Amino acid sequence: MIIVMKMKASSDDIDAVINRLHNGGWQTHVSRGEERTIIGVIGDERKLDQGAMSRMGGVDRVVPILRPFKLASRDFQAEDSKIEVNGHVFGGEKVIMMAGPCSVESMEQVMETAIAIREAGAHLLRGGAFKPRTSPYSFQGMGEEGLKILAAAREETGLPIVSEIMATDQIDLMCKYVDVLQIGTRNMQNYALLNAVGKTNKPILLKRGMMSTIEELLMSAEYIMSNGNHKVILCERGIRTFEKYTRNTLDINAVPVLKELTHLPVVVDPSHATGRWTLVKATSRASVAAGADGLIIEVHPNPAEATSDGEQSLKPKRFAELMVEVRRVAEAIGRTI
Amino acid sequence: MIIVMKMKASSDDIDAVINRLHNGGWQTHVSRGEERTIIGVIGDERKLDQGAMSRMGGVDRVVPILRPFKLASRDFQAEDSKIEVNGHVFGGEKVIMMAGPCSVESMEQVMETAIAIREAGAHLLRGGAFKPRTSPYSFQGMGEEGLKILAAAREETGLPIVSEIMATDQIDLMCKYVDVLQIGTRNMQNYALLNAVGKTNKPILLKRGMMSTIEELLMSAEYIMSNGNHKVILCERGIRTFEKYTRNTLDINAVPVLKELTHLPVVVDPSHATGRWTLVKATSRASVAAGADGLIIEVHPNPAEATSDGEQSLKPKRFAELMVEVRRVAEAIGRTI
Amino acid sequence: MIIVMKMKASSDDIDAVINRLHNGGWQTHVSRGEERTIIGVIGDERKLDQGAMSRMGGVDRVVPILRPFKLASRDFQAEDSKIEVNGHVFGGEKVIMMAGPCSVESMEQVMETAIAIREAGAHLLRGGAFKPRTSPYSFQGMGEEGLKILAAAREETGLPIVSEIMATDQIDLMCKYVDVLQIGTRNMQNYALLNAVGKTNKPILLKRGMMSTIEELLMSAEYIMSNGNHKVILCERGIRTFEKYTRNTLDINAVPVLKELTHLPVVVDPSHATGRWTLVKATSRASVAAGADGLIIEVHPNPAEATSDGEQSLKPKRFAELMVEVRRVAEAIGRTI
Amino acid sequence: MIIVMKMKASSDDIDAVINRLHNGGWQTHVSRGEERTIIGVIGDERKLDQGAMSRMGGVDRVVPILRPFKLASRDFQAEDSKIEVNGHVFGGEKVIMMAGPCSVESMEQVMETAIAIREAGAHLLRGGAFKPRTSPYSFQGMGEEGLKILAAAREETGLPIVSEIMATDQIDLMCKYVDVLQIGTRNMQNYALLNAVGKTNKPILLKRGMMSTIEELLMSAEYIMSNGNHKVILCERGIRTFEKYTRNTLDINAVPVLKELTHLPVVVDPSHATGRWTLVKATSRASVAAGADGLIIEVHPNPAEATSDGEQSLKPKRFAELMVEVRRVAEAIGRTI
């Protein structure tokens, strides 16, 4: 951490800062420049309160040097984490394909979708039993009934299941039926929920908050990991910007940025990141080309009848086409699907 | 709702849309324009699935006409809601002043602050016992111990208490000690929590998500209200933008916009909305001038020692000065403090 | 400037950075921390290329310490700049009121507006003769004809004129008719234009780019000032955010921030910052309460017939009401109008 | 265009709107719904003033139906525009690669770069002779001297030249030396400049404003095209968002969106869109996979010595590696380089 003093900081101000640091067990390097004095802090800055320091007399700014995340960092673990789900490994050479409906609506819908995506080559089945909806008047999901349908589809197709958990009191229920617990974009900073899933041993698909920075995503992963569960899969799903034509803006930069900063696997959700099914194929190819370890895609046998997010769902036939195109791109960069 | 067909939509496409609407119980008005056909839907559009309609063959866009919130709307209730907390009325002529530390740290800290702000004329005491922190390594709050300290300060000063609830399993505990339950910015779309507080009879201070639209804020209020609790106080606390000099951007427009759209009281949090204590006085004056029904302000006896958000906390003396200035502005627009 | 080296930077990397700095005439302070080495640069960092340094081997990040603007800075000039326009002083105790139509449309329109706003107490007349429009098919302004109309209104009412200049080849024409040259939001970083107006001796009303940071606004002021013209009036006019209900988001924080960082006067344009006339009164009061040195407001005798921005224009009668309210707020904070 | 009346709009309000439309030559379809009346407008809405209509008594909102751009639209021209520059065709099967330094600094620098990128397979040479810089104290480019260096490099290598034009008075000079005129991000809405280049017959590389919507980009293309020059190449170069880790956020969605909306070629600038050279390779692959018709990439023989944007420049060797990877991705989606 570096503490930049104001131009008019007095010697007393400077001494007070230095004394406080020394009393707290840190060492300092003081540079008296032409216009200002700057104080370098030596020691573990994560334990130092940035706010408190910046509020001291004569202090202009405090500049952190270390990244605030630790367990999730490449500095902590250099090699890629590999997270296995029923034989499919996130973070390895293979690009993992997850697909399925936004909401579970019926046994027929899920079964038809599951069979179709497995035939097209998908590895996991996604589907929401509990749905976070902006409006209290919208369909809120089938609940446990929906989980049973997903489990039946797994029984039939062998595809493991990813599904969203919305509240801490759903933990036992979700763990009973589901292979990967998804934390949705609105819950990325629901710390009670992060702590709770951090105490399970299920892989967690952690979606980036639509309003969260890359660093905050990693801090939320850190919450889960600091509870003991290191099996975190990060998901870029589009951020909110001023652009109104698409539902969100897919932050494609986040893929190589995350691969630099962390050892955790990174997947992309092109369905939510665009909000329009006509854009899903192009952005899926782009995500794999950027280095994503997997994709999660909405597929619905009859999107026009979907209870949620029909605009962004692909029909099974289009998903099969997408698989062909994405596979070619994966191979072009030395990966498989 | 209006359904805009594509230029090349066939008559079959148009008929399919009309039939689906008629089968669902809606009436239609069809306008065949020079370039396109548009279909007006007559009936309660809140029950109609916008996504499903927009996914039908030949449909270009679906344009909702009604606002999606109902109970929170001025159309539903024209006159201002008045929410009383121990004799102080949110939504009336008086501007309600809430103040106190970000985090409860000790009996001395809270007691000193509470006495000072009461003397300066504040009406409620704020303070966090459970703290949502970006980092799992930061101080997470004193928990019930903190609530007891707040209650002791209320006992001493008579100031009712506002404090943040972070999880559904804190409901009973919080209701035991606290007068107004605060939903924080990261939990604005934590629907499990909204449903839970909607079942209590405590007033709720609902903070706008830092990247949530005004409409989404009202939809979250609608969640609480649709559970039976109509005592919702909305709080503008700054949104996330590209500007980096301040921690957030105070959306001052939101104050008159909300007063137009809803009958619920609207307060502003200038401390979080700026992130710098030097900006709090000016933006407090501005918020009251814009029509806010109250302010919530961070005050700490020794901001440099605060465990969180010290940069944005005022010393009690500065808060007293702020009260003087804000009172003058309130009087200039025909209100009191 | 502070140069933070990577954890694994070699001694050679560190030496190369130090040598380059010494060769360039800077001195250094080197702090070897537990995890990293940091290098403090002593000397005028504005002359040092941040990009080049950050690209050197072993460098993790480069952190600038000084603000990049100089002439516009409070460090350069502590007391407020006062800019006089026909006896009206921007940056003094008086809040300066500018009003008038978005576009000049006819002699009658301008004359009627000018007389009405003068009666209500406005100090300057605004009106566009050259209009930057998103669409090439929209009305582009009356050109010199419009300037003549503005001049006639000044003749009649004594109100000096603010009008937008869009291109360098309009300089002579504009200087002939206009008292204050306005640089519009889309031209805030049109450096050719900034350099050109910097060579005139007219006061410049510099609008913040809808996509520009506060620092960039000050850098654009610096362009004008470094050409010799120090008479720059800064204008906050709303920024672009994710919020869609209003046309822009009025960044009210920018008012006290600018008053801290610069000695230049700061005005606000509540008409563009909201895009809705129903919000103009509340945000005008807020802007003055926040410390703005002036307001610029759209007034049109018949907004429904306006060729541009009718939604955000006030009728003269409403402007007169606004003047009354704004004056009360100004007085409440010890200023006049 | 659809005009939505307020719930409490009177019959007089409704009649006034209808009369105004009929008087202007439009026809109407009026739908009286349960809660509101809506009025559909029949006729060319581009000629109708949306603002004026929305300001009429009793009007709640005005919803445009047609897109505001015409010449740039796929509706106007269904097949892809092909724009040829010295035998290289933008908008065809081949992905066009442009590369070179941000700023022209010397004959050696440009010549070395040009030879290296041609060897690696690039098709055009980019380089700035006039540089828009945030600070007036930064290097502003070599001017005509720089253009001569670029021309000499073209002479030597056969690579046509792309270079930025910053002001209308540079038109003749630029046209003398340059093959493609670039409009930079800060000038995307400099309408005087758009009109001026629209009167030349040079291909225009139009960069998206860093905070401009896709629709505004197309409106700026429309400005150029409506002046007679239809040779417009659109360039996505990253937008400004709340994310701070990268310089900009590459809006990868914009690529397929633009390919849907317009017949004009679309290229991507991954150097500016990320601001970090370590991210350029991954995002280049992604851009091609998303369907971009070309890339423009910063290459510098010695990035650490670059006068601008060194952090985002690739060394020639890394550019050659990038070409290999990007070619494989292009072939995977049925294109060539």
User: Considering B18, B34, B63, which residue would you say is the last residue of a domain?
Assistant: B63
Q: Which tens digits make up the pLDDT trace of B29-66?
A: 787 766 678 887 877 666 777 777 887 888 888 877 66
DSSP letters spanning C255-322? HHHHHHHBSS-EEE-HHHHHS-GGGHHHHHHHHHHHT-SEEEEEB-SSGGG-SS-GGGPBPHHHHHHH
Does residue B106 sit at the C interface (CB-CB below 8 Å)? no
Q: Which tens digits make up the pLDDT trace of C24-34?
A: 888 887 877 66
**Which of A1, A36, A38, A210 to mutate to test binding with chain C, by most C CBs within 10 Å of its CB?**
A38
Question: Is C143 found in the same domain as C24?
Answer: no
Distance of CA B74 to CAs A159, B205, D11, D69, Å?
Answer: 49, 19, 22, 37
Q: In chain C, which residue's Cα lies nearest the Cα of A28?
A: C31
**How does the average pLDDT of chain B come out, rounded?**
92
Question: Is A116 found in the same domain as A26?
Answer: no
CB contact under 8 A, D189 and C192: no
Q: Is residue B74 part of a domain?
A: no
- A chain contacts of residue B192, beta-carbon cutoff 8 Å: 166-167, 169
Closest residue to B283, CB basis, from C246, C256, C279:
C256
Residue C208 has what DSSP assignment?
A: P
More confident residue, C310 or B252: B252
Percent of chain C with pLDDT over 70: 97
Q: Is residue A77 part of a domain?
A: no
Locate tokens 């204050």: which residue?
A: C180
Alpha carbon distance D33, D54 (integer Å): 19
Gap from C280 CA to chain D (nearest CA, Å): 14
What does the pLDDT read at residue C154?
A: 98
CB contact under 8 A, B252 and C288: no
What does the pLDDT read at residue D266?
A: 98
**Which of B7, B30, B38, B215 to mutate to test binding with chain D, by most D CBs within 10 Å of its CB?**
B38
Question: Is B95 found in the same domain as B38?
Answer: no
**Which of C67, C187, C190 to mutate to test binding with chain D, by most D CBs within 10 Å of its CB?**
C190
**How does the average pLDDT of chain A come out, rounded?**
92
* Paired residues of A261 in beta bridges: none
CB contact under 8 A, C242 and B213: yes
Q: In chain C, which residue's Cα lies nearest the Cα of A27?
A: C33
pTM reported for the whole predicted model: 0.90
Distance of CA D238 to CAs A322, B219, B269, C191, D186, Å?
Answer: 26, 32, 33, 21, 12
Residue span of the structural domain in which A273 resides: 83-332
CB contact under 8 A, D289 and A285: yes
Chains that touch A (3 or more CB pairs under 8 A): B, C, D
Total structural domains within chain B = 2
**Which of B5, B35, B185 to mutate to test binding with chain D, by most D CBs within 10 Å of its CB?**
B35
* Paired residues of B181 in beta bridges: B163, B204
CB contact under 8 A, B242 and C331: no
* Paired residues of D233 in beta bridges: D205
Q: Does residue A66 have a pLDDT over 80? A: no
Q: Which tens digits make up the pLDDT trace of A27-44?
A: 887 877 666 788 878 776
Asked whether D95 and D335 are in contact (CB, 8 A), the reply is yes
Q: Which tens digits make up the pLDDT trace of C191-241?
A: 999 999 999 999 999 999 999 999 999 999 999 999 999 999 999 999 999
pLDDT tens-place values along chain D, 337 residues long: 788 888 788 889 999 999 988 888 888 878 776 667 888 787 766 677 777 788 788 888 887 766 788 899 998 899 999 999 999 999 999 999 999 999 999 999 999 999 999 999 999 999 999 988 888 888 889 999 999 999 999 999 999 999 999 999 999 999 999 999 999 999 999 999 999 999 999 999 999 999 999 999 999 999 999 999 999 999 999 999 999 999 999 999 999 999 999 999 999 999 999 999 999 999 999 999 999 999 999 999 988 777 777 788 999 999 999 999 999 999 999 999 9
> Which segment of A179-193, A197-211, D16-30 scores lowest on mean pLDDT?
D16-30
Q: Does residue A76 have a pLDDT over 90? A: no
Q: Which of residues 39-68 of D touch C (CB under 8 A)?
A: 46-47, 49, 51-52, 54-57, 68
Question: Is D115 found in the same domain as D11?
Answer: no
CATH at residue A27: 3.30.70.1140
Q: Does residue C305 have a pLDDT over 80? A: no
**Which of A217, A252, A268 to mutate to test binding with chain D, by most D CBs within 10 Å of its CB?**
A252
What does the pLDDT read at residue B33?
A: 67
Does residue B293 sit at the C interface (CB-CB below 8 Å)? no
What does the pLDDT read at residue C46?
A: 65
CATH at residue B291: 3.20.20.70
Question: Is B120 found in the same domain as B54?
Answer: no
Question: Is C287 found in the same domain as C196?
Answer: yes
Question: Is C127 found in the same domain as C255?
Answer: yes
CB contact under 8 A, B168 and A168: yes
Take residue C264 and report the two structure tokens written for it. 């230049």
Q: Which tens digits make up the pLDDT trace of B150-197?
A: 999 999 999 999 999 999 999 999 999 999 999 999 999 999 999 999
Q: Which tens digits make up the pLDDT trace of C316-325?
A: 999 999 999 9
Gap from C87 CA to chain D (nearest CA, Å): 32
Q: Does residue C75 have a pLDDT over 70? A: yes
Q: Does residue A126 have a pLDDT over 70? A: yes
CB contact under 8 A, D55 and C190: no
Question: Is D87 found in the same domain as D59?
Answer: no
- Number of Cβ within a 10 Å radius of residue C83: 22
Question: Closest by alpha carbon to C128, among C165, C102, C161, C98?
Answer: C102
Q: Is residue A68 part of a domain?
A: no
* Paired residues of B204 in beta bridges: B181, B232
Question: Is C249 found in the same domain as C288?
Answer: yes
Q: Is residue C271 part of a domain?
A: yes
Closest residue to B2, CB basis, from D2, D42, D43:
D2
Does residue A226 sit at the B interface (CB-CB below 8 Å)? yes
Q: Is residue A337 part of a domain?
A: no
CB contact under 8 A, D304 and C167: no
> Which segment of A41-45, A271-275, B284-288, D24-28 scores lowest on mean pLDDT?
A41-45
Gap from D179 CA to chain A (nearest CA, Å): 30
More confident residue, C8 or B89: B89
Question: Is A196 found in the same domain as A48?
Answer: no
> Which segment of A172-186, C35-49, C171-185 scores lowest on mean pLDDT?
C35-49
Contacts for A328 with CB less than 8 Å, ≥ 6 apart: D332, D333
CB contact under 8 A, A55 and B240: no
Asked whether C195 and C227 are in contact (CB, 8 A), the reply is yes
Q: Amino acid identity, residue D88?
A: H
- C chain contacts of residue D133, beta-carbon cutoff 8 Å: 191
Q: Is residue C21 part of a domain?
A: yes
Gap from C331 CA to chain B (nearest CA, Å): 8
- C chain contacts of residue A61, beta-carbon cutoff 8 Å: 65
More confident residue, C254 or D47: C254
Asked whether D272 and D239 are in contact (CB, 8 A), the reply is no
Does residue D137 sit at the A interface (CB-CB below 8 Å)? no
Question: Is B264 found in the same domain as B217?
Answer: yes
What does the pLDDT read at residue D46?
A: 65
- D chain contacts of residue A289, beta-carbon cutoff 8 Å: 282, 285-286, 288-290, 329
What does the pLDDT read at residue A34?
A: 65
CB contact under 8 A, B243 and C213: yes
Question: Is B254 found in the same domain as B165?
Answer: yes
Q: To the nearest 10°, the Cα dihedral for A44, A47, A51, A55?
A: -70
Q: Does residue C36 have a pLDDT over 80? A: no
Q: Does residue C76 have a pLDDT over 70? A: yes
User: Considering B16, B31, B63, which residue would you say is the last residue of a domain?
Assistant: B63
Q: Is residue A121 part of a domain?
A: yes
Does residue D29 sit at the B interface (CB-CB below 8 Å)? yes
Chains that touch B (3 or more CB pairs under 8 A): A, C, D
Q: In chain C, which residue's Cα lies nearest the Cα of D136?
A: C223
Q: Is residue C169 part of a domain?
A: yes
More confident residue, A214 or A55: A214
